[in-house]
Amino acid sequence: MKFTCQHFQENYRECTKCSDVAEENKRKYILQNPSRKKVCKVRIDGCVITSQSQRKCDYLMIVCEDEASNQAESVDLYFVELKGRDLMSAVEQLTETIKYFQANNYRFFGKVFARVVVSHVSRPTASIDTDPRVKSLRNLLKKLGGNFDYRAVRFEKDCI
């Protein structure tokens, strides 16, 4: 299966809308979009993945090459988790979501990024960077051409 806005709009209509902002409980992820590319925000938790036993992130943002494009060859993906304080739980949720889509035969054609917005970062950066769960996620994303990053309260570093 392909990661396209069209696929999610057709198969998960109630979960998908055009937006470059994800927010809940005072945490906000903003994908800077001066190029005005088409961006679909897909609600993963409780919509695309409804299983209570499956760990999953909150959103997936699909960036199409241009406004009219729904071609899978060039889409970049941003998996987003908006979390309270538990950064490591968010890392696990992101990892499990990416693996879920891989196991369900979704093909990754562009770069894949994982983003967390927490209410507060309580651990020092050095201990976060050396945590095996973070290392594992970073290795997975490196193979997919992307990376992992996190911020407290508001994340608006990414620009397309």
Does 152 have pLDDT greater than 60? yes
Does 66 have pLDDT greater than 60? no
* 26 falls within a domain: yes
- Interval 42-55: pLDDT, tens: 999 999 999 999 99
* 99 falls within a domain: yes
Q: Which residue has the higher pLDDT, 24 or 71?
A: 24
* 124 falls within a domain: yes
Mean pLDDT of 55-59: 96
* 160 falls within a domain: no
Domain count, the chain: 1
* 150 falls within a domain: yes
* 125 falls within a domain: yes
pLDDT at 70: 47
* 86 falls within a domain: yes
Residue 98: which domain range? 5-155
Q: Shortest CA distance to 65 belongs to which of 35, 90, 45, 92?
A: 35
